[in-house]
Structure 1
Amino acid sequence: MEDLKAILTVGAILVVPFIAAPKVMFAIVLYIIIYMAFRWRNF
């Protein structure tokens, strides 16, 4: 189980930048939407 977790962690570290790099603006917009959704739900 620990080995699988380590492999997934390393894989995520290697893969995520390649996936996220072309989508930086999308990620920022998504983060803002999620932040606003949580903030709106709290009030």
Structure 2
Amino acid sequence: MGITGATDHVLEDGTVRGRLVAAIRGCAQAISLGLGDERL
């Protein structure tokens, strides 16, 4: 499946699963922005 398969599932439901994915991505971006400089 891969990334495209996962995104297709999110677009199909568009409900709780989509919100969870969006929240996880938001947290991951915040962490990467906050800790990216320290890791590099």
Please, what TM-score do these two structures have when normalized by structure 1? 0.45
**Structure showing the higher helix proportion among its residues:** 1
Higher relative contact order, chain-length normalized (CA < 8 Å, sep 6+): 2
Whichever of the two has the greater Rg, that structure is 1
TM-score, length-scaled by structure 2: 0.48
